[in-house]
Chain A
Amino acid sequence: MEPSKNIGPILRIKDLKKSFGDNHVLNGFTLELFEGENLVLMGKSGSGKSVMIRCLVGLMQPDEGSLEIMGKDISKLEQKEFNELRTQLGFLFQGSALYDSMTVRENLEFPMRQQNKTEEESLKLVLEALDSVGLRDAIDLMPEELSGGMKRRIALARAIILKPKIIIYDEPTTGLDPITAKEIIQLMRNIQQNYKTSSLIITHDVDCARVISNRMILLIDGINYAEGTFEELSVNKDEKIQAFFK
C-alpha cells in the first residue's frame, strides 16, 4: 500500500520538547505520519525515541509541543475521549509486555473489555488475530509457555486485535535471533497490507528499516537530524548519518 499524502497526516508531532532535569532529551522533535506509510525512526540508545512514543501514547507528559492523532490534539482531550482514541492505536512493546497471569486468549481479549462485544464476537476476533500471526494453537497457553519470538507474535496479535489505524512498534526485532526477526518483519509487512495500517517503527535494526520503511527519520540530539528514504540516507556522506548504516 502506497502512503497517501493528499489527505494530511494521520499522526503529527510538532516541536516536541522533553527534559529530565538538565538532560534535554527532545529539543523540538517534529514528525508526520501519513496514511498507509511505514515510517522508521532510528536513533542511538538514549536519544529519546522511547520518550517520544511514551509522550505520544500518553504515558508521559511533554514539556512543550503538540501531538495530534487523526487530527485530534491529545492535550485537549478528556481522559475518556483519549482512551477511545487509543483504541485506534496498536502498540507493540519492546519486551512484548504480555500479561503474565492471563492466557493468550485473555491477553488478546483484554483490549476489547470496553467494547461490549459478545463472547462469540470476541473469540472470532481473537482467532482472526492469531491466524494473522500464525499461532492459532497457542490460544490457551500462558505467556511463560511461549518462546521469545512467539511472545512477540502474540503481542503483535494483541496490537492488531481492534484493527487500529496506526501501529507503533518499539524495537520489534530487538532480542530476537535473525531468523525470527525476519519472520516478525514479514509479519509486520503482511499486517500492513491486510489491515491497511500506518506504522511508526522504532528500531536499531538496519535490515528491518531497509525492508519495511517508506521513509526514515534519524533522531540525533533530540531533533530530526535527517529525513528521507532508506536509499537516500544510506548514501548520505554525513558521518553522523553513516554511523547508522555501517
Chain B
Amino acid sequence: MMSKMLKRMITSIQIQNTLKSFFTEIGELSYFAGRFFKEVFTRPFEFKELLRQCYKMGNRSLFLVGITGFILGLVFTLQSRPTLLEFGAQSWMPSMVSISIVREIGPVIIALICAGKISSGIGAELGSMRVTEQIDAMEVSGTNPFKYLVVTKIMAATLMIPLLIIFGDAIALFGSALVENLKGDVSFQLYFNKVFDAIEFSDILPATVKSFFFGFAIGLVGSFKGYNCTKGTVGVGEASNSAVVYTSMLLFIIDFIAVFVTDIFFEI
C-alpha cells in the first residue's frame, strides 16, 4: 500500500517537474523572442553580418532545397498518376500537384529540411561559440553579441526561408512537369499553363506569409538553443539536436495555426 502511494507521489513529482521545465523553457524562449524584437529596431544595425548570414543560409541551402523539391515533385506526381488515370482525371494533375505543393507540402517539407540544416547549424555554431568563450570575448570587446549573432541570424532565416520555399516549390513543379512530359506526353508549356490557371492569390498569399513565420521559428529556436548552451561540448550536441526537434514541432504548430487562420479568411 505504502509502496503504491510512494510510486504515485514520485510519478506526480516527475510530472510536475517536467511541466515546470516545459513552461520555464516556453517562458525563456518568449523572453528571448522579446529581446530580439527589442534589439532588431535599435542601432547599430549589423547589415554586413546580416548579408553574410543571408548568403550562408540562402545560397548554401539552394542545392539541398533544389534536390528535395525536385524529388518531391517527381515522387508526388509518380505516386498520384495511377490513381488519377484510373478515374480518367489525369488532366487534373497539374492543378492538384501545384495547389498541394504551393499551399502545404512545399512550405512544410522545405521548412523541415531547413530546420535540419539551418536551425541545427545555428544551434551548433552559437553553442560552440558559447562554450569556447567567443561570445564572452565579443561582449568584453564592447560589442553586443546578441545583436551581432542572434538578431542577424533570426533576420536572415526569416528573409531567406520564404525565398528558399519559393525556389523549392518551383523546382518541385518542374519535377512534376518532367514526369508528365516523359510519361504523359504533356508539354512543359501546357503543364505550366494549367498550373498558373489553377493557382490563385488565396493559395500563394497564406503560404508565403506562413513561410516567414517558419523562417522566424527556425532562426529563433536555433539561436535560443545555441546562445543558452551549457555543459561544454556535450551541450553543443544537445543544443544542435534539440534545435531541430523543437523547431520541427514548432513548424507543425505554426502550420496548424496558419491553416486555421487561412480557413477563416479564404475559406479553403
Contact = CB atoms under 8 A, between A and B. Distances in A.
Interface of A: 54, 57-59, 83-84, 86-87, 89, 91, 93-95, 97-101, 110-111, 113-114, 158
Given A100-B128, A100-B129, A111 B141 contact: yes
Contact of A59 (B44, B136, B142): B136
B28 interface: no
B134 A110 contact: no
B142 A97 contact: no
Q: Is the interface of B mostly helix, strand, loop or mixed?
A: helix
Contact of B142 (A54, A87, A94, A98): A87
Contacts of A158: 141
Given A86-B140, A100-B132, 16 more contacts: A57-B140, A58-B140, A86-B141, A87-B142, A91-B137, A91-B140, A93-B133, A97-B133, A97-B136, A99-B129, A99-B138, A100-B134, A101-B125, A110-B143, A111-B141, A113-B143
A95 B133 contact: yes
Contacts of B140: 57-59, 86, 89, 91
Contact of B139 (A59, A84, A94): A59
B141 A97 contact: no
Contacts of B137: 91, 93, 97, 99
A100 B143 CA distance: 17
A97 B134 contact: yes
A57 B141 CA distance: 10
B153 to A, nearest CB: 12
Contacts of B132: 95, 97, 100
User: 4 closest Cβ contacts across the A-B interface?
Assistant: A83-B142, A111-B141, A97-B137, A97-B133
B56 to A, nearest CB: 9
A162 to B, nearest CB: 8
- From A57, A84, A99, residue with most partner B Cβ within 10 Å: A99
B136 A110 contact: no
A59 B134 CA distance: 12
B44 A114 contact: yes
A114 B143 contact: yes
B129 A110 contact: no
29 contacts: A58-B140, A59-B136, A59-B139, A83-B143, A86-B141, A87-B141, A87-B142, A89-B140, A91-B137, A91-B140, A91-B141, A93-B137, A94-B133, A95-B133, A97-B132, A97-B134, A97-B136, A97-B137, A99-B129, A100-B129, A100-B132, A101-B125, A110-B138, A110-B141, A111-B142, A113-B143, A114-B44, A114-B142, A158-B141
A113 B138 CA distance: 11
A37 to B, nearest CB: 21
A97 B140 CA distance: 11
- From B44, B128, B141, residue with most partner A Cβ within 10 Å: B141
A199 to B, nearest CB: 16
A98 B141 contact: no
Nearest to B143: A113
A158 B134 CA distance: 13
A99 B52 CA distance: 15
Contacts of B128: 100
B45 to A, nearest CB: 12
Contacts of A86: 140-142
A57 B142 CA distance: 10
Interface string B99-133: 00000000000000000000000000100110011
Contacts of B133: 93-95, 97
Nearest to B52: A101
Contacts of B139: 58-59
Interface in B124-169: 125, 128-129, 132-134, 136-144
A170 to B, nearest CB: 9
A83 B148 CA distance: 15
Contacts of A87: 141-142
A98 B135 CA distance: 10
Contacts of B44: 114
- From B44, B125, B137, residue with most partner A Cβ within 10 Å: B137
- From A97, A98, A100, residue with most partner B Cβ within 10 Å: A97
A140 B132 CA distance: 22
Interface string B178-205: 0000000000000000000000000000
A164 B166 CA distance: 50
A89 B136 CA distance: 14
A149 B117 CA distance: 34
A200 B136 CA distance: 18
- From B134, B139, B142, residue with most partner A Cβ within 10 Å: B142
